[in-house]
Chains A and B, each alone.
Chain A
Amino acid sequence: MSAAAASPATGAAPRPWPWRGVLLPLAILAVWQALGMLGGNVRTPLPTRVVAAARDLIASGDLPWGIAQSLGRVFLGFAVAALIAIPLGLAMGAFRSIERNVDPLIESFRPIAAIAILPLAILWLGTGTAAAVMIVAYAAFFPIVVNTVAGAGRVEPTLLRAAATMGLSRFATLRTVVIPAALPAIGVGLRIGMGVAWTAIIAAELAVGAKAGGGTTGGIGQMMFVFYAYSIELNRIVVCMIAVGLVALVLDRAIRLGMRLLMPWAPRP
């Protein structure tokens, strides 16, 4: 997909304008601003008002603090998920008997969305950080475990046979052959897991805000709900949405970068 020649439709254009990707977003922003100014009222979110709201929210420290709170929960839940999922996944990938016993259990919980567990989490752990961490851990667990199993199960058989021929113990084989071979797949699992974890925390904070009568647990999802339900600040909601997107992007890029530095042999995602 790199060369212009990859398309059967257009011949290679002489010199495509490099900034044409900016046209559509700018057009959307312009139409949005124009429509809002023509037909909107004081509350209508407009690009200019969103920028002003963003400046307020950042200056007052509300937005950075909300993001920090949400990120703290995500990292905690993510760490819990990784600590359980990676060893379990390696064991499942390395030993058929473990996989045969655990896999049906994982597969029967996988289609249940993390947010569906939220009522149970609230019931067991209240509406605070613990419930949010549980949701995040549950959400991140599945991509990590599934990818780890796939990575550990797809080790080159020649390598395993070579290790067996040289008399390596099972544990040594796991440590020196299986884990390095599975690392790229684990990295992919961690990246996907981080993505769903971030989505899950927003959902959890929103739902807690919606269903637990406001609450004071904080986080960016909760902030959005407060702007919706109590102060009706649509511009601020849009700021939060953009922030959610930016954080998701930064997390994804950070994990990609980390993988590239730690595992230069891994195929580029």
Chain B
Amino acid sequence: MAVFFVVWALIARGTANPILLPSPLAVGEAFAALAGDGELFRHAGISFGRMLISVGIAAAIAIPLGLAMGLSRTLDAIVDPTIEVLRPISGIAWIPLALFIFGIGNALPVFIMTYTAFFPILLGTVAGVHGVDRKLIDAARTMGVPYRAIVTRVVAPAALPSLLVALRLGVAASWTAVVAAELIGAPSGLGYAVEWYRELLATPQVMGFIAMIGILGYLTDRAVRALATRFTPWAVETRQAHS
């Protein structure tokens, strides 16, 4: 890691062109300045808020649908082909059409991120329900547990670990999409800020914002993992995610 910074500093000194490659020190200063006047956190807050809203919407649709699809073969057979047809069309590819429908603003990045987060969450939920140990369901049935209770007390907890892994994938996917969506069609946010400073040829600021994108992405991933540890400490998926 230290080697990386030394090499970077040496190359920066060699090229001696702060627009092409500023030194790590210059980037650090720009980062501190952007953080100092609050601009960094303003854009980060906007992007992060959009991500939370998008993942919230995606989860609100995908989790109930995924549970239902996991429980009902018929529903799965009806809905799954449609999902599989839409899934290969990446959220990014929706940007031009969505730009036309929503215009530049908040709706566009939220739509793109919701779309991107939707598929991993849905598929993870379905897989989680399918992965529930048959014996648990049979045992509950034998003991005369009503169907509703089987779903809420047996299937849902058993599917929870896989659901949280799916949520993590959804968050990561939507965080990737936010930059693209904001870069092209939003008047604010981290993606917009990166592009804004590129046009000004202010490379240290560009790199500062890129670093912020990485830091926030990393912290969010950690937070979702912590959530998984907190709520499903027993799960294999949770333990694997940490090893």
What residues of chain A have their CB less than 8 Å away from a CB belonging to chain B? 1, 4, 6-10, 13, 16, 20-25, 28, 101, 104-105, 107-109, 111-120, 122-124, 198-199, 202-203, 206-207, 210-211, 221, 224-225, 227-228, 232, 234, 237-238, 240-242, 244-246, 248-249, 252
A22: B residues at CB distance < 8 A: 81
Minimum CB–CB distance for B173 against chain A, Å: 10
Q: A16 near B77 (CB under 8 angstroms)?
A: yes
If A224-B96, A241-B94, A246-B88 touch, does A21 touch B80 (CB 8 Å cutoff)? yes
Minimum CB–CB distance for A133 against chain B, Å: 17
Q: B96 near A244 (CB under 8 angstroms)?
A: no
B234: A residues at CB distance < 8 A: none
Q: A20 near B77 (CB under 8 angstroms)?
A: yes
Q: A206 near B74 (CB under 8 angstroms)?
A: no
Instruction: Please provide the 6 A-B residue pairs with the shortest distance between their CB atoms, ordered closest to farther.
Output: A111-B217, A21-B81, A245-B89, A119-B198, A228-B96, A248-B88
B73, B93, B199: the one within 8 Å of A202 (CB): B93
Q: B191 near A116 (CB under 8 angstroms)?
A: yes
Minimum CB–CB distance for A154 against chain B, Å: 11
Q: How large is the interface on B (under 10, 10 to 19, 20 to 34, 35 or more residues)?
A: 35 or more
Q: B71 near A117 (CB under 8 angstroms)?
A: no
A237: B residues at CB distance < 8 A: 96-97, 100
Across the two chains, which residue of chain A brings its CB closest to B116? A199
A207: B residues at CB distance < 8 A: 180, 183-184
**B152 within 8 Å of A (CB atoms):** no
If A120-B210, A207-B180, A244-B93 touch, does A111 touch B100 (CB 8 Å cutoff)? no
A16: B residues at CB distance < 8 A: 73-74, 77
A124: B residues at CB distance < 8 A: 20
Q: A111 near B72 (CB under 8 angstroms)?
A: no
Q: A249 near B88 (CB under 8 angstroms)?
A: yes
B143: A residues at CB distance < 8 A: none
Separation of A20 and B75 alpha carbons in the complex (Å): 10
Across the two chains, which residue of chain B brings its CB closest to A225? B96
Minimum CB–CB distance for B225 against chain A, Å: 13
Give residues of chain B (179-222) contacting chain A, Cβ–Cβ below 8 Å: 179-180, 183-185, 190-191, 194-195, 197-199, 201, 203, 206-207, 210-211, 213-218, 221
A115, A202, A244: the one within 8 Å of B183 (CB): A115
Q: B78 near A123 (CB under 8 angstroms)?
A: no
**B236 within 8 Å of A (CB atoms):** no
Across the two chains, which residue of chain B brings its CB closest to A28? B82
Q: B82 near A234 (CB under 8 angstroms)?
A: no
Minimum CB–CB distance for A94 against chain B, Å: 19
A113: B residues at CB distance < 8 A: 175-177, 179-180, 213, 217
Separation of A254 and B82 alpha carbons in the complex (Å): 21
In the complex, 15 of the A-B residue pairs with CB atoms within 8 angstroms, ordered by the A residue number, are A8-B141, A23-B78, A24-B81, A25-B82, A108-B214, A115-B176, A115-B183, A116-B190, A120-B206, A203-B180, A211-B199, A225-B96, A227-B96, A248-B88, A252-B88
A20: B residues at CB distance < 8 A: 74, 77-78
Q: B81 near A25 (CB under 8 angstroms)?
A: yes
Across the two chains, which residue of chain A brings its CB closest to B81? A21
If A120-B210, A228-B100, A241-B94 touch, does A10 touch B73 (CB 8 Å cutoff)? yes
Minimum CB–CB distance for A77 against chain B, Å: 16
